[in-house]
């Protein structure tokens, strides 16, 4: 008789586990998922406008479906040079103009300091 009870006890234990597990699972609230990742707050900017924005923090989205955030170090017509943050290894990244899909300006470039010339000095 002991052998006959084992399948019954096994089935009973499995049913308790299944019912107990599903009721505990149903009681837990489901996490809310965003359908889109959060986009950085900023304004779109054209490539040519970056000439005056050296030192600005920008996000560059490329044709390879990548996005890089960094400080604009150098602007030339064929390429941009970005200084990436410590989370990306603090490296300088060159981004060719033809690979750029979209640029977002997050923080404008700091204002240049006023020149040190005084009005009373004569130039030769």
49-92: pLDDT as tens digits: 999 999 999 999 999 999 999 999 999 999 999 999 999 889 99
Most confident of 6-15, 78-87, 111-120: 78-87
Distance in angstroms between the alpha carbons of the first and the last residue of the chain: 117
Bigger pLDDT: 4 vs 62:
62
Q: Which residues contact 102 (CB under 8 A, 6 or more apart)?
A: 44, 60, 61
Bigger pLDDT: 77 vs 114:
77
Bigger pLDDT: 19 vs 105:
105
At residue 95, the pLDDT reads 96
């Amino acid at each position: 008789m002991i052998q006959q009870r084992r399948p019954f006890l096994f089935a009973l234990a499995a049913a308790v586990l299944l019912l107990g597990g599903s009721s505990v699972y149903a009681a837990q609230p489901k996490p809310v998922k965003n359908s889109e990742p959060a986009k950085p707050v900023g304004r779109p900017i054209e490539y040519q406008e970056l000439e005056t924005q050296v030192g600005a923090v920008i996000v560059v989205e490329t044709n390879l479906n990548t996005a890089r955030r960094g400080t604009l170090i150098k602007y030339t017509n064929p390429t941009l040079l970005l200084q990436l943050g410590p989370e990306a290894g603090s490296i300088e990244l060159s981004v060719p103009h033809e690979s750029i899909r979209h640029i977002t300006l997050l923080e404008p470039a700091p204002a240049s300091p006023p020149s040190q010339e005084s009005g009373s000095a004569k130039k030769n």
